[in-house]
Structure 1
Amino acid sequence: MQKSFLGVHFLQNPNDAITIAEILYEQDIDLIIETGTYRGGAALFFASIMYQYRYDANKKLIRPFKIITMDINPEAAQYINRFTLLAPYILFIPQSSASSVARSIINETFFEMRPANVFISLDGDHYAEAVYNELVYYEQYIANISNYILVQDTRLSRKWHSLYCGQSKYDGPCNGPQEAVNWFLKNEGHDRFKIDLTKEYLFSTHHNGWLKRVA
Protein backbone atom coordinates (compact mmCIF):
# COMPACT_ATOMS: atom_id res chain seq x y z
CA MET A 1 0.00 0.00 0.00
CA GLN A 2 1.41 3.38 -1.00
CA LYS A 3 1.29 6.07 1.69
CA SER A 4 0.44 9.61 0.65
CA PHE A 5 -0.10 13.06 2.12
CA LEU A 6 -2.55 15.34 0.31
CA GLY A 7 -2.51 12.74 -2.44
CA VAL A 8 1.27 13.00 -2.92
CA HIS A 9 3.52 9.98 -2.35
CA PHE A 10 4.87 10.26 1.20
CA LEU A 11 7.81 8.02 2.09
CA GLN A 12 7.63 8.43 5.86
CA ASN A 13 6.75 5.90 8.50
CA PRO A 14 3.69 7.40 10.26
CA ASN A 15 5.30 7.09 13.68
CA ASP A 16 8.38 9.00 12.54
CA ALA A 17 6.25 11.61 10.77
CA ILE A 18 4.39 12.44 13.99
CA THR A 19 7.70 12.64 15.87
CA ILE A 20 9.03 15.12 13.31
CA ALA A 21 5.84 17.18 13.61
CA GLU A 22 6.27 17.23 17.38
CA ILE A 23 9.85 18.52 17.06
CA LEU A 24 8.85 21.21 14.57
CA TYR A 25 6.13 22.54 16.88
CA GLU A 26 8.00 22.25 20.18
CA GLN A 27 11.12 23.97 18.83
CA ASP A 28 9.22 26.52 16.73
CA ILE A 29 11.33 25.56 13.71
CA ASP A 30 11.42 28.31 11.10
CA LEU A 31 13.73 26.66 8.55
CA ILE A 32 13.88 23.07 7.31
CA ILE A 33 16.60 21.83 4.99
CA GLU A 34 15.65 18.54 3.32
CA THR A 35 17.74 16.44 0.96
CA GLY A 36 15.77 13.96 -1.14
CA THR A 37 12.46 15.58 -2.07
CA TYR A 38 11.14 12.75 -4.25
CA ARG A 39 7.62 14.01 -5.13
CA GLY A 40 7.36 16.51 -2.30
CA GLY A 41 5.04 14.68 0.08
CA ALA A 42 7.29 15.28 3.08
CA ALA A 43 7.86 18.95 2.18
CA LEU A 44 4.10 19.49 1.97
CA PHE A 45 3.62 17.72 5.31
CA PHE A 46 6.27 19.92 6.93
CA ALA A 47 4.74 23.07 5.45
CA SER A 48 1.22 22.20 6.62
CA ILE A 49 2.44 21.71 10.20
CA MET A 50 4.60 24.85 10.18
CA TYR A 51 1.81 26.97 8.71
CA GLN A 52 -0.34 26.21 11.75
CA TYR A 53 2.14 27.13 14.47
CA ARG A 54 3.76 30.04 12.61
CA TYR A 55 0.37 31.76 12.33
CA ASP A 56 0.02 34.66 14.77
CA ALA A 57 -3.69 34.92 15.49
CA ASN A 58 -3.37 38.27 17.27
CA LYS A 59 -1.62 39.97 14.37
CA LYS A 60 -3.34 37.82 11.74
CA LEU A 61 -0.10 37.10 9.92
CA ILE A 62 2.24 34.21 9.25
CA ARG A 63 5.62 34.47 10.91
CA PRO A 64 8.25 33.74 8.23
CA PHE A 65 9.24 30.12 7.62
CA LYS A 66 10.73 28.12 4.79
CA ILE A 67 11.35 24.55 3.68
CA ILE A 68 14.34 24.22 1.36
CA THR A 69 14.26 20.84 -0.34
CA MET A 70 16.39 19.40 -3.11
CA ASP A 71 16.42 16.41 -5.44
CA ILE A 72 18.05 15.63 -8.78
CA ASN A 73 14.62 14.55 -10.07
CA PRO A 74 12.62 17.69 -11.01
CA GLU A 75 9.15 16.07 -10.80
CA ALA A 76 8.43 17.37 -7.29
CA ALA A 77 7.71 20.85 -8.62
CA GLN A 78 4.47 19.78 -10.30
CA TYR A 79 3.15 18.20 -7.10
CA ILE A 80 4.19 21.02 -4.77
CA ASN A 81 2.74 23.71 -7.03
CA ARG A 82 -0.72 22.12 -6.84
CA PHE A 83 -1.07 23.57 -3.35
CA THR A 84 -1.12 27.34 -3.67
CA LEU A 85 -1.40 27.92 0.08
CA LEU A 86 1.73 25.92 0.92
CA ALA A 87 3.89 26.21 -2.21
CA PRO A 88 5.19 29.75 -1.44
CA TYR A 89 6.84 28.39 1.70
CA ILE A 90 8.64 25.57 -0.13
CA LEU A 91 11.81 26.30 -2.07
CA PHE A 92 12.46 23.30 -4.32
CA ILE A 93 15.93 23.06 -5.84
CA PRO A 94 16.23 20.45 -8.65
CA GLN A 95 19.88 19.79 -7.84
CA SER A 96 22.06 17.40 -5.88
CA SER A 97 22.66 18.34 -2.26
CA ALA A 98 26.37 18.38 -3.11
CA SER A 99 26.01 20.84 -5.99
CA SER A 100 27.42 24.34 -5.76
CA VAL A 101 24.09 25.68 -7.05
CA ALA A 102 22.08 24.14 -4.21
CA ARG A 103 24.60 25.14 -1.58
CA SER A 104 24.74 28.71 -2.82
CA ILE A 105 20.93 29.05 -2.71
CA ILE A 106 20.76 27.53 0.77
CA ASN A 107 23.52 29.77 2.07
CA GLU A 108 21.88 32.88 0.64
CA THR A 109 18.45 31.93 2.03
CA PHE A 110 19.89 31.11 5.44
CA PHE A 111 21.60 34.47 5.82
CA GLU A 112 18.53 36.32 4.56
CA MET A 113 16.26 34.56 7.06
CA ARG A 114 18.63 34.34 10.04
CA PRO A 115 16.49 31.47 11.40
CA ALA A 116 16.27 30.91 15.12
CA ASN A 117 15.68 27.15 14.89
CA VAL A 118 16.53 24.74 12.09
CA PHE A 119 15.62 21.11 11.39
CA ILE A 120 17.62 19.15 8.82
CA SER A 121 16.37 15.94 7.19
CA LEU A 122 18.87 13.88 5.17
CA ASP A 123 16.85 11.55 2.94
CA GLY A 124 18.64 11.63 -0.40
CA ASP A 125 21.49 9.38 -1.52
CA HIS A 126 21.76 6.74 1.22
CA TYR A 127 25.32 5.58 0.58
CA ALA A 128 27.58 6.23 3.57
CA GLU A 129 29.94 8.60 1.79
CA ALA A 130 27.11 10.78 0.48
CA VAL A 131 25.37 10.93 3.87
CA TYR A 132 28.63 11.61 5.69
CA ASN A 133 29.47 14.48 3.33
CA GLU A 134 25.99 15.94 3.88
CA LEU A 135 26.45 15.74 7.64
CA VAL A 136 29.83 17.45 7.50
CA TYR A 137 28.57 20.25 5.28
CA TYR A 138 25.02 20.88 6.49
CA GLU A 139 25.61 20.70 10.23
CA GLN A 140 26.84 24.31 10.06
CA TYR A 141 23.21 25.38 9.58
CA ILE A 142 21.95 23.91 12.85
CA ALA A 143 21.28 27.27 14.43
CA ASN A 144 20.60 26.37 18.02
CA ILE A 145 21.54 23.89 20.70
CA SER A 146 18.81 21.19 20.89
CA ASN A 147 17.99 21.40 17.15
CA TYR A 148 18.16 18.16 15.15
CA ILE A 149 19.68 16.58 12.10
CA LEU A 150 17.64 13.51 11.15
CA VAL A 151 19.55 10.90 9.17
CA GLN A 152 16.78 8.89 7.57
CA ASP A 153 16.59 5.18 6.78
CA THR A 154 19.38 3.85 8.97
CA ARG A 155 17.28 0.68 8.76
CA LEU A 156 19.03 -0.04 5.45
CA SER A 157 22.14 -1.03 7.39
CA ARG A 158 20.20 -3.02 9.97
CA LYS A 159 18.38 -4.97 7.27
CA TRP A 160 21.60 -5.74 5.41
CA HIS A 161 20.13 -4.23 2.28
CA SER A 162 21.97 -5.63 -0.74
CA LEU A 163 22.73 -2.15 -2.10
CA TYR A 164 24.31 -0.89 1.09
CA CYS A 165 25.98 -3.83 2.78
CA GLY A 166 29.36 -5.19 1.92
CA GLN A 167 32.81 -3.72 2.33
CA SER A 168 32.85 -0.29 3.95
CA LYS A 169 35.59 2.18 4.76
CA TYR A 170 33.34 3.60 7.45
CA ASP A 171 32.56 2.36 10.94
CA GLY A 172 30.38 -0.71 10.48
CA PRO A 173 29.73 -3.73 8.32
CA CYS A 174 27.65 -1.84 5.74
CA ASN A 175 27.96 1.22 3.56
CA GLY A 176 24.72 3.00 4.40
CA PRO A 177 23.35 5.83 6.55
CA GLN A 178 24.17 4.22 9.90
CA GLU A 179 27.85 3.98 9.06
CA ALA A 180 27.86 7.66 8.09
CA VAL A 181 26.34 8.55 11.47
CA ASN A 182 28.91 6.46 13.33
CA TRP A 183 31.82 8.07 11.48
CA PHE A 184 30.46 11.60 11.86
CA LEU A 185 29.98 11.21 15.61
CA LYS A 186 33.53 9.95 16.00
CA ASN A 187 34.97 12.84 14.02
CA GLU A 188 33.43 16.21 13.06
CA GLY A 189 30.29 15.75 15.14
CA HIS A 190 32.12 14.59 18.26
CA ASP A 191 30.97 16.56 21.34
CA ARG A 192 28.54 18.67 19.25
CA PHE A 193 25.89 16.06 18.45
CA LYS A 194 24.45 13.10 20.33
CA ILE A 195 21.98 10.39 19.33
CA ASP A 196 18.59 11.03 20.95
CA LEU A 197 16.87 7.70 21.48
CA THR A 198 13.86 9.36 23.12
CA LYS A 199 12.54 10.23 19.65
CA GLU A 200 12.23 6.59 18.61
CA TYR A 201 9.23 5.60 20.78
CA LEU A 202 10.06 1.87 20.58
CA PHE A 203 10.09 1.87 16.77
CA SER A 204 11.73 4.04 14.13
CA THR A 205 13.06 3.45 10.64
CA HIS A 206 15.76 5.97 11.62
CA HIS A 207 17.19 4.17 14.68
CA ASN A 208 20.26 6.09 15.93
CA GLY A 209 19.57 8.71 13.27
CA TRP A 210 18.04 11.44 15.47
CA LEU A 211 21.09 13.63 16.04
CA LYS A 212 20.59 16.41 18.57
CA ARG A 213 22.98 19.32 18.85
CA VAL A 214 24.24 19.48 22.43
CA ALA A 215 27.09 22.01 22.21
Structure 2
Amino acid sequence: MSPYENFKIECRDEITRQGADSRLLQASSTWFILANGGKYSYHFAWLGRPIIQYPQDILAIQELIWQVKPDLIIETGIAHGGSLVLSASLLALLDYGDAAATGTLLDPTKPRRTVLGIDIDIRAHNRAAIQAHPLASRIDMMQGSSVDPDIIAQVHAKAAGKERILVCLDSNHTHAHVLAELEAYAPLTTVGSYCVVFDTIIEDLPADMFPDRPWGPGDNPKTAVWAYLKTHPEFQIDKAIDHKLLISVAPDGYLKRVGCQPADT
Protein backbone atom coordinates (compact mmCIF):
# COMPACT_ATOMS: atom_id res chain seq x y z
CA MET A 1 0.00 0.00 0.00
CA SER A 2 1.33 3.43 -0.94
CA PRO A 3 2.09 6.14 1.64
CA TYR A 4 -0.80 8.17 0.24
CA GLU A 5 -3.25 5.28 0.67
CA ASN A 6 -2.07 4.88 4.26
CA PHE A 7 -2.57 8.60 4.82
CA LYS A 8 -6.15 8.40 3.52
CA ILE A 9 -6.93 5.49 5.82
CA GLU A 10 -5.55 7.40 8.79
CA CYS A 11 -7.66 10.43 7.88
CA ARG A 12 -10.79 8.31 7.50
CA ASP A 13 -10.31 6.82 10.96
CA GLU A 14 -9.61 10.25 12.50
CA ILE A 15 -12.73 11.70 10.86
CA THR A 16 -14.83 8.86 12.26
CA ARG A 17 -13.51 9.59 15.74
CA GLN A 18 -14.28 13.30 15.31
CA GLY A 19 -17.87 12.49 14.45
CA ALA A 20 -18.23 10.44 17.64
CA ASP A 21 -16.63 13.02 19.96
CA SER A 22 -19.52 14.63 21.84
CA ARG A 23 -17.33 17.35 23.36
CA LEU A 24 -16.01 18.36 19.96
CA LEU A 25 -19.49 18.35 18.46
CA GLN A 26 -20.82 20.52 21.29
CA ALA A 27 -17.91 22.95 20.98
CA SER A 28 -18.54 23.22 17.23
CA SER A 29 -22.24 23.89 17.81
CA THR A 30 -21.53 26.56 20.42
CA TRP A 31 -19.01 28.28 18.19
CA PHE A 32 -21.39 28.18 15.21
CA ILE A 33 -24.23 29.83 17.12
CA LEU A 34 -21.95 32.59 18.42
CA ALA A 35 -20.34 33.22 15.02
CA ASN A 36 -23.65 33.14 13.16
CA GLY A 37 -24.91 35.94 15.39
CA GLY A 38 -22.24 38.16 13.82
CA LYS A 39 -23.10 37.13 10.22
CA TYR A 40 -19.77 35.31 9.98
CA SER A 41 -20.53 33.75 6.58
CA TYR A 42 -21.03 37.16 4.95
CA HIS A 43 -17.38 38.13 5.28
CA PHE A 44 -15.77 35.97 2.57
CA ALA A 45 -15.32 36.25 -1.19
CA TRP A 46 -14.20 34.00 -4.03
CA LEU A 47 -12.19 35.66 -6.79
CA GLY A 48 -13.70 39.03 -6.00
CA ARG A 49 -17.37 38.13 -5.43
CA PRO A 50 -19.02 37.73 -2.00
CA ILE A 51 -19.82 34.05 -1.50
CA ILE A 52 -21.84 34.01 1.78
CA GLN A 53 -20.69 30.55 2.83
CA TYR A 54 -18.59 29.09 5.60
CA PRO A 55 -14.99 28.32 4.57
CA GLN A 56 -15.49 24.68 5.53
CA ASP A 57 -18.35 24.29 3.05
CA ILE A 58 -16.41 26.14 0.36
CA LEU A 59 -13.61 23.62 0.74
CA ALA A 60 -16.05 20.71 0.74
CA ILE A 61 -17.60 21.91 -2.53
CA GLN A 62 -14.11 22.18 -4.02
CA GLU A 63 -13.41 18.58 -3.05
CA LEU A 64 -16.69 17.37 -4.54
CA ILE A 65 -16.22 19.20 -7.83
CA TRP A 66 -12.70 17.80 -8.20
CA GLN A 67 -13.98 14.32 -7.31
CA VAL A 68 -17.10 14.29 -9.50
CA LYS A 69 -15.72 16.37 -12.41
CA PRO A 70 -19.19 17.53 -13.45
CA ASP A 71 -20.03 18.81 -16.91
CA LEU A 72 -22.80 20.94 -15.42
CA ILE A 73 -23.41 22.39 -11.97
CA ILE A 74 -26.94 23.58 -11.20
CA GLU A 75 -27.32 26.11 -8.39
CA THR A 76 -30.50 27.63 -6.99
CA GLY A 77 -29.88 30.97 -5.28
CA ILE A 78 -27.36 33.44 -6.73
CA ALA A 79 -27.11 36.48 -4.39
CA HIS A 80 -23.78 38.20 -5.20
CA GLY A 81 -22.60 35.34 -7.41
CA GLY A 82 -19.64 34.11 -5.37
CA SER A 83 -20.78 30.51 -5.46
CA LEU A 84 -21.22 30.66 -9.24
CA VAL A 85 -17.69 32.03 -9.57
CA LEU A 86 -16.36 29.30 -7.27
CA SER A 87 -17.96 26.62 -9.43
CA ALA A 88 -16.85 28.28 -12.66
CA SER A 89 -13.24 28.57 -11.49
CA LEU A 90 -13.03 24.89 -10.57
CA LEU A 91 -14.71 23.83 -13.81
CA ALA A 92 -12.14 25.89 -15.69
CA LEU A 93 -9.34 24.02 -13.93
CA LEU A 94 -10.92 20.72 -14.93
CA ASP A 95 -11.18 21.82 -18.57
CA TYR A 96 -7.61 23.07 -18.65
CA GLY A 97 -6.45 19.81 -17.09
CA ASP A 98 -8.26 17.81 -19.76
CA ALA A 99 -6.76 19.99 -22.48
CA ALA A 100 -3.25 19.60 -21.11
CA ALA A 101 -3.66 15.83 -20.89
CA THR A 102 -4.82 15.55 -24.50
CA GLY A 103 -2.68 18.31 -26.01
CA THR A 104 -5.69 20.23 -27.30
CA LEU A 105 -6.35 23.97 -27.31
CA LEU A 106 -9.26 25.50 -25.43
CA ASP A 107 -11.60 28.12 -26.81
CA PRO A 108 -12.39 30.26 -23.73
CA THR A 109 -15.56 31.53 -25.40
CA LYS A 110 -16.95 27.98 -25.71
CA PRO A 111 -16.26 26.22 -22.42
CA ARG A 112 -17.13 22.56 -22.09
CA ARG A 113 -18.12 22.69 -18.42
CA THR A 114 -20.54 25.35 -17.15
CA VAL A 115 -22.56 26.38 -14.11
CA LEU A 116 -26.23 27.37 -14.24
CA GLY A 117 -27.66 29.65 -11.54
CA ILE A 118 -31.36 30.26 -10.89
CA ASP A 119 -32.73 33.07 -8.73
CA ILE A 120 -36.12 34.69 -8.39
CA ASP A 121 -34.48 38.15 -8.21
CA ILE A 122 -31.07 38.70 -9.84
CA ARG A 123 -30.35 42.26 -8.87
CA ALA A 124 -28.98 44.43 -11.65
CA HIS A 125 -25.69 45.29 -9.90
CA ASN A 126 -25.01 41.62 -9.17
CA ARG A 127 -25.85 40.54 -12.71
CA ALA A 128 -23.55 43.21 -14.12
CA ALA A 129 -20.67 42.21 -11.84
CA ILE A 130 -21.06 38.51 -12.68
CA GLN A 131 -21.27 39.19 -16.40
CA ALA A 132 -18.12 41.33 -16.17
CA HIS A 133 -16.15 38.63 -14.35
CA PRO A 134 -13.31 36.88 -16.24
CA LEU A 135 -15.16 33.56 -15.79
CA ALA A 136 -18.47 34.87 -17.14
CA SER A 137 -18.38 32.63 -20.23
CA ARG A 138 -18.82 29.62 -17.95
CA ILE A 139 -21.80 31.09 -16.08
CA ASP A 140 -25.41 30.98 -17.23
CA MET A 141 -28.17 32.64 -15.21
CA MET A 142 -31.95 32.29 -15.22
CA GLN A 143 -34.30 34.66 -13.39
CA GLY A 144 -37.47 33.19 -11.97
CA SER A 145 -38.71 30.92 -9.22
CA SER A 146 -36.71 27.72 -9.07
CA VAL A 147 -39.95 25.78 -8.60
CA ASP A 148 -41.80 27.39 -11.51
CA PRO A 149 -42.66 24.63 -14.02
CA ASP A 150 -41.32 26.66 -16.95
CA ILE A 151 -37.98 27.24 -15.18
CA ILE A 152 -37.76 23.56 -14.23
CA ALA A 153 -38.40 22.56 -17.84
CA GLN A 154 -35.69 24.93 -19.09
CA VAL A 155 -33.17 23.57 -16.60
CA HIS A 156 -33.96 19.99 -17.56
CA ALA A 157 -33.48 20.91 -21.22
CA LYS A 158 -30.06 22.41 -20.47
CA ALA A 159 -29.13 19.29 -18.49
CA ALA A 160 -30.06 16.91 -21.29
CA GLY A 161 -27.09 14.94 -22.57
CA LYS A 162 -24.73 15.94 -19.75
CA GLU A 163 -22.69 13.01 -18.50
CA ARG A 164 -22.08 14.25 -14.93
CA ILE A 165 -24.22 16.77 -13.03
CA LEU A 166 -23.85 18.22 -9.52
CA VAL A 167 -26.72 20.14 -7.88
CA CYS A 168 -26.63 22.79 -5.12
CA LEU A 169 -29.86 24.07 -3.53
CA ASP A 170 -29.59 27.39 -1.67
CA SER A 171 -32.59 29.65 -2.26
CA ASN A 172 -35.79 29.91 -0.19
CA HIS A 173 -35.24 27.80 2.93
CA THR A 174 -38.78 26.73 3.82
CA HIS A 175 -39.59 23.02 3.98
CA ALA A 176 -42.13 23.21 1.15
CA HIS A 177 -39.85 25.13 -1.19
CA VAL A 178 -36.78 22.96 -0.63
CA LEU A 179 -38.81 19.76 -0.98
CA ALA A 180 -40.17 21.07 -4.29
CA GLU A 181 -36.61 21.87 -5.41
CA LEU A 182 -35.47 18.38 -4.45
CA GLU A 183 -38.29 16.82 -6.45
CA ALA A 184 -37.43 19.05 -9.42
CA TYR A 185 -33.63 18.95 -9.49
CA ALA A 186 -32.26 16.09 -7.38
CA PRO A 187 -33.18 13.59 -10.13
CA LEU A 188 -30.75 15.42 -12.43
CA THR A 189 -27.90 14.45 -10.10
CA THR A 190 -25.92 11.67 -11.75
CA VAL A 191 -24.99 8.49 -9.91
CA GLY A 192 -21.83 9.07 -7.86
CA SER A 193 -22.42 12.82 -7.77
CA TYR A 194 -24.08 14.97 -5.10
CA CYS A 195 -27.11 17.11 -4.46
CA VAL A 196 -26.02 19.57 -1.76
CA VAL A 197 -28.78 21.18 0.29
CA PHE A 198 -27.53 24.25 2.13
CA ASP A 199 -28.76 25.77 5.40
CA THR A 200 -30.00 22.52 6.90
CA ILE A 201 -28.34 23.92 10.05
CA ILE A 202 -31.53 25.96 10.64
CA GLU A 203 -33.06 22.89 12.28
CA ASP A 204 -30.31 22.94 14.92
CA LEU A 205 -30.32 26.66 15.75
CA PRO A 206 -32.43 28.57 18.29
CA ALA A 207 -35.83 29.56 16.93
CA ASP A 208 -35.29 33.21 17.89
CA MET A 209 -32.48 33.50 15.33
CA PHE A 210 -35.10 33.77 12.55
CA PRO A 211 -37.67 36.33 13.77
CA ASP A 212 -38.22 37.85 10.31
CA ARG A 213 -37.99 34.67 8.21
CA PRO A 214 -40.66 32.15 7.17
CA TRP A 215 -38.40 29.25 8.17
CA GLY A 216 -37.07 27.94 11.47
CA PRO A 217 -36.78 24.70 13.47
CA GLY A 218 -39.37 22.25 12.17
CA ASP A 219 -39.70 24.04 8.80
CA ASN A 220 -36.41 24.21 6.91
CA PRO A 221 -34.10 22.46 4.43
CA LYS A 222 -33.18 19.64 6.84
CA THR A 223 -36.80 18.66 7.41
CA ALA A 224 -37.24 18.70 3.62
CA VAL A 225 -34.21 16.43 3.19
CA TRP A 226 -35.57 13.98 5.75
CA ALA A 227 -38.94 13.92 3.99
CA TYR A 228 -37.39 13.47 0.55
CA LEU A 229 -35.15 10.60 1.61
CA LYS A 230 -38.14 8.60 2.89
CA THR A 231 -39.14 7.92 -0.72
CA HIS A 232 -35.80 8.29 -2.49
CA PRO A 233 -33.38 5.56 -1.42
CA GLU A 234 -31.18 6.37 -4.39
CA PHE A 235 -29.76 9.19 -2.22
CA GLN A 236 -27.84 8.82 1.03
CA ILE A 237 -26.54 11.43 3.48
CA ASP A 238 -22.75 11.42 3.34
CA LYS A 239 -22.11 11.58 7.07
CA ALA A 240 -18.34 11.43 6.53
CA ILE A 241 -18.49 14.99 5.17
CA ASP A 242 -20.38 16.18 8.26
CA HIS A 243 -17.85 14.48 10.55
CA LYS A 244 -14.96 16.00 8.63
CA LEU A 245 -16.23 19.57 8.54
CA LEU A 246 -17.76 19.76 12.05
CA ILE A 247 -18.68 23.39 11.31
CA SER A 248 -21.04 23.57 8.34
CA VAL A 249 -24.30 25.16 7.22
CA ALA A 250 -25.29 21.85 5.61
CA PRO A 251 -25.31 19.00 8.16
CA ASP A 252 -27.29 16.11 6.63
CA GLY A 253 -27.29 18.16 3.43
CA TYR A 254 -24.53 16.44 1.45
CA LEU A 255 -26.63 13.89 -0.43
CA LYS A 256 -24.77 11.37 -2.55
CA ARG A 257 -26.60 9.63 -5.34
CA VAL A 258 -25.78 5.95 -4.96
CA GLY A 259 -28.32 4.41 -7.32
CA CYS A 260 -31.21 4.89 -9.74
CA GLN A 261 -34.93 4.89 -9.31
CA PRO A 262 -36.70 2.26 -11.42
CA ALA A 263 -37.87 5.02 -13.80
CA ASP A 264 -34.26 6.09 -14.36
CA THR A 265 -33.09 2.69 -15.64
- 2:204, 2:53 → 1: CA distance? 17
Deviations 1:84-110 (A, max 9, x none): x31111111111101233223212211
- 2:80, 2:199 → 1: CA distance? 17
The one of 212, 227, 252 aligned to 1:183: 227
Q: Tell me whether 1:123 sits opposite 2:170 in the alignment.
A: yes
Residue 122 of structure 2 aligns with an amino acid whose one-letter code is P
Residue 114 of structure 2: aligned partner? 66
The one of 187, 198, 203 aligned to 1:152: 198
RMSD of aligned C-alpha atoms? 1.6
Maintained 8 Å contact 2:78/2:122: no
Residue 182 of structure 2: aligned partner? 135
1:1-215 matches, cutoff 5 A: 2-55=43-96, 56-57=99-100, 58-61=103-106, 64-75=112-123, 76-83=126-133, 85-111=134-160, 114-143=161-190, 145-161=191-207, 162=210, 163=213, 164-165=215-216, 174-187=218-231, 189=232, 191-200=233-242, 201=244, 202-215=246-259
Residue 184 of structure 1 aligns with an amino acid whose one-letter code is Y
TM-score (norm 1): 0.88
Deviations 1:122-150 (A, max 9, x none): 0000000100111111122112x211000
Between structures 1 and 2, the one with greater strand share: 1
Q: Secondary structure of the residue that 1:61 maps to in structure 2?
A: coil
Between structures 1 and 2, the one with greater helix share: 2
Residue 257 of structure 2 aligns with an amino acid whose one-letter code is R
CA-CA distance at 1:116 after TM superposition:
1.4
Maintained 8 Å contact 1:160/1:174: no
Residue 74 of structure 1 aligns with an amino acid whose one-letter code is I
CA-CA distance at 1:175 after TM superposition:
0.3
Q: Which moved more, 1:203-212 or 1:72-81?
A: 72-81
Deviations 1:187-208 (A, max 9, x none): 2x2x210000112213321000
Q: Secondary structure of the residue that 2:249 maps to in structure 1?
A: coil
Maintained 8 Å contact 2:222/2:253: yes
For structure 1, the 5+ residue unaligned runs are 166-172
Q: Secondary structure of the residue that 2:52 maps to in structure 1?
A: coil
Moved over 3 A (4+): 160-163
Q: Which moved more, 1:93-102 or 1:129-138?
A: 93-102
TM-score (norm 2): 0.72
CA-CA distance at 1:20 after TM superposition:
0.5
Q: Secondary structure of the residue that 2:177 maps to in structure 1?
A: helix
- 2:148, 2:120 → 1: CA distance? 10
Q: Secondary structure of the residue that 2:195 maps to in structure 1?
A: strand
For structure 2, the 5+ residue unaligned runs are 1-39, 260-265
